[in-house]
């Protein structure tokens, strides 16, 4: 299984438009972060988790020529706004499968009504095949996927486990029952926004505490804001098995 980090930044990305914060001005490519998304590849399959406003560029940058579907964590703009840009895939491959909680599907239907329209559909609009995700394991191709439900302030969000790999973003609180679904995972990706606490995201301490509880072999932090600090400086302070993810990082599990 191969994971490619397409984006590792929080909702505004790094740099933030117009910001002269030192991290936003950093010349280190690892301090430049598009909105969060990962490419998950196994056998001959390619899935994307979330497709935010940087989706088009992320697909070009990763050289991604086909996708088998998109799995959504939740409906916030930084995770869904690129949905229109599935068009090149749709033109080449036909209908694109999407997987999401019913509440997320409802939001997508409202925000991208033309994609879901059945009658008098504009010919250039893409079509999706809707797969509703409930909080129980489901199959994607030959892979069993286990949703992990958590709260992002008061909003329900799904993380996903694929065998030895799990990807969680925009989490703030999780019940122990949900955390226990992650036990035994080799590689865990989890969000860490900044140093200071935040009402809807893990800060660095909370993410590290969470990683300790899950106890994976390796963990990567994502959904990072400029307020976490410079990539190089933050990474030096992390525990041995914890790394900061960065855009275009590839890992094989």
Q: Residue 49 is inside which H or E element, if any?
A: strand 45-49
Token match 């300790």: residue?
212
Shortest reach from residue 139's CB to Zn ion, in Å: 26
Chain position whose Cβ is nearest to Zn ion: 76
Q: What is the CA radius of gyration of the chain?
A: 17
Under the criterion CB under 5 A, does residue 85 sit at the interface with Zn ion? Answer: no
Under the criterion CB under 5 A, does residue 172 sit at the interface with Zn ion? Answer: no
Under the criterion CB under 5 A, does residue 50 sit at the interface with Zn ion? Answer: no
Asked whether the CA dihedral 145, 58, 36, 96 is positive or negative, the reply is: negative
Under the criterion CB under 5 A, does residue 41 sit at the interface with Zn ion? Answer: no
| Among the listed residues 78, 85, 178, 247, the single contact to Zn ion using CB under 5 A | 78
Strand bridging mode 69-71 / 45-49 = parallel
Q: Give the C-alpha distances (Å, rounded to integers) separating 71 from 36, 130, 186, 242.
A: 13, 10, 21, 25
Scanning 23-31, 58-66, 75-83, 175-183 for contacts with Zn ion by CB under 5 A, the matching segment is 75-83
Under the criterion CB under 5 A, does residue 76 sit at the interface with Zn ion? Answer: yes
Shortest reach from residue 223's CB to Zn ion, in Å: 6
Shortest CA distance to 42 belongs to which of 97, 74, 3? 3
Shortest reach from residue 148's CB to Zn ion, in Å: 15
| Among the listed residues 75, 85, 170, 178, the single contact to Zn ion using CB under 5 A | 170
Shortest reach from residue 11's CB to Zn ion, in Å: 5
Integer Cα distance of 190 and 223 in angstroms: 8
Q: Give the C-alpha distances (Å, rounded to integers) separating 150 from 147, 180, 198.
A: 10, 12, 15
The nearer residue to Zn ion, 170 or 247, going by C-beta atoms, is: 170
Shortest reach from residue 200's CB to Zn ion, in Å: 7
Enter the tokens of residue 244. 């900061």
Scanning 12-20, 102-110, 119-127, 163-171 for contacts with Zn ion by CB under 5 A, the matching segment is 163-171
Token match 């009658």: residue?
119
Residues that bind Zn ion (CB under 5 A): 76, 78, 170
């Amino acid at each position: 299984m191969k994971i490619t980090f397409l984006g590792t930044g929080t909702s505004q990305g790094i740099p933030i438009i117009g910001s002269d914060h030192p991290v936003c001005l950093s010349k280190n490519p690892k301090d430049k972060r598009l909105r969060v998304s990962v490419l998950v590849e196994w056998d001959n399959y390619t899935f994307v988790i979330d497709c935010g406003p940087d989706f088009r560029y992320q697909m070009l940058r990763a050289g991604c020529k086909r996708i088998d579907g998109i799995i959504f964590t939740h409906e916030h703009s930084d995770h869904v706004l690129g949905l229109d840009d599935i068009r090149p895939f749709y033109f080449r491959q036909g209908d694109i499968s999407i997987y999401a909680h019913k509440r997320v599907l409802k939001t997508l239907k409202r925000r991208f009504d033309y994609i879901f329209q059945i009658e008098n559909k504009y010919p250039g609009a893409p079509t999706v095949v809707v797969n509703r995700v409930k909080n129980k394991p489901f199959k994607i191709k030959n892979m069993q996927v286990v949703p992990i439900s958590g709260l992002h302030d008061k909003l329900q969000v799904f993380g996903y486990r694929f065998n030895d790999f799990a990807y969680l973003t925009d989490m703030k609180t999780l019940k122990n029952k949900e955390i226990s679904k992650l036990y035994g995972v080799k590689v865990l990706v989890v969000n860490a926004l900044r140093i200071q606490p935040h009402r809807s995201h893990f800060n660095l301490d909370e993410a590290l505490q969470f990683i300790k509880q899950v106890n994976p072999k390796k963990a990567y932090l994502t959904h990072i804001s400029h307020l976490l600090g410079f990539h190089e400086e933050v990474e030096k302070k992390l525990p041995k098995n914890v790394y900061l993810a960065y855009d275009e990082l590839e890992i094989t599990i």
